[in-house]
Amino acid sequence: MPELNATPVTFKCKICGGDIVNNFLVGSCVCAHCGNKWALEDMIPDYEKYSNIISNINEANEAVSHNPTVVSLERAKSLLNFAVEESEELDGVIASDLAKMSRDEITKIDRMQSYMKGMNFFEKQDYQSALNEFEKIPGYKNTDELKEQCKVKVAKQNKTNRVLEVTMGMLFPAMLCIVLKIAFDVSFAILIPLFLVISAVLGFFIYRGGTPASVIKLVSVLSIGPFLLFLIIKYGIHILFFKLCKLIFKYIIQMIKYCLVESKN
């Protein structure tokens, strides 16, 4: 974190009459014209009433100057908030400058926190969360470049997720067709078109997203339990695996044949 900014006030140099700049961190006053320095205690009336505020600002700066962490940044913000509260209880230019300095540093820490959170999300490949944090601090360090990288990554993840979600949506029509075949011996000539139509409809709603997509995915997942229970009751656990594999394999072969015939037609 950069060193806290020195704050100009209305005091004048004792030698040349130039404006005095108070550097509350190093504890000195410097003439902006001739460069002469004095201790803050010698230049600021009633220095003691500001000493605790200055101490909090100094401690906050130390907390974030070297390898800042989430904990140290929060600690620094707490100290600066105390400095703001104490400064607002006092009158005068010095108190106003101290309050402004503290608010400015809180803003800097907020930006630093957003950057650190964004980098943490980025390293964990949670690119959407990283993008949300980087968009809070445009122009800060390399955030503009990182935002573009996140957008590319998010688009790629969304495309992959859509494929997985559409595939998940096919579970329900697949299980439905298997149950119809086992329970009622429905012809493959009916089951395959039924599967394709239902899958297409569900896939469309899943692709569009929203509440219907969430409901479809939830139903697909929840239907797995009753489906497996039905198979266990029908065949018994000892032959369930072989029966299911045989049925699925036969189902896939029939679907391939059906698709080839339809493509020729």
Which residue shows structure tokens 């980025």?
Answer: 122
Q: Percent of the chain, pLDDT > 70?
A: 88
244: Cβ contacts below 8 Å, ≥ 6 apart = 231
Say yes or no to pLDDT of 17 above 80.
Answer: no
Q: Which among 128, 130, 109 has a CA at the least distance from the CA of 119?
A: 130
pLDDT of residue 1: 38
**Higher per-residue confidence, 238 vs 251:** 251
Say yes or no to pLDDT of 30 above 70.
Answer: yes
pLDDT of residue 25: 61
The interaxial angle of helices 211-222 and 143-169, nearest 10 deg, is 50
Residue pair 240/167 in contact (Cβ under 8 Å)? The answer is no
| AA identity, residue 197 | V
User: Helix H segments across the chain?
Assistant: 40-43, 48-65, 70-88, 93-123, 127-134, 143-169, 171-184, 188-208, 211-222, 224-235, 237-264
Say yes or no to pLDDT of 70 above 70.
Answer: yes
Calculate the dihedral angle through the C-alpha atoms of 107, 112, 114, 119, rounding to the nearest 10 degrees: 170
Say yes or no to pLDDT of 211 above 80.
Answer: yes
Residue pair 32/19 in contact (Cβ under 8 Å)? The answer is yes
Say yes or no to pLDDT of 265 above 60.
Answer: no
CA dihedral over 57, 63, 69, 71, signed as positive or negative = negative
Residue pair 96/80 in contact (Cβ under 8 Å)? The answer is no
Mean pLDDT of 71-82: 92
- Gyration radius of the chain's alpha carbons: 34
Q: Is the pTM of this model over 0.85?
A: no
Residue 234's CB is within 10 A of a number of other CB atoms, namely 13
pLDDT of residue 183: 85
User: Helix H segments across 7-92?
Assistant: 40-43, 48-65, 70-88
**Higher per-residue confidence, 161 vs 236:** 161
**Higher per-residue confidence, 146 vs 47:** 146
pLDDT of residue 77: 94
Say yes or no to pLDDT of 102 above 80.
Answer: yes
Residue 207's CB is within 10 A of a number of other CB atoms, namely 13
Say yes or no to pLDDT of 240 above 70.
Answer: no
CA dihedral over 128, 134, 139, 140, signed as positive or negative = negative
Say yes or no to pLDDT of 152 above 90.
Answer: yes
Q: Which among 12, 47, 48 has a CA at the least distance from the CA of 30?
A: 12
pLDDT of residue 8: 40
Q: Of 9-13, 91-95, 147-151, 157-161, where does mean pLDDT reach its minimum?
A: 9-13
The interaxial angle of helices 171-184 and 237-264, nearest 10 deg, is 110
Mean pLDDT of 104-124: 93
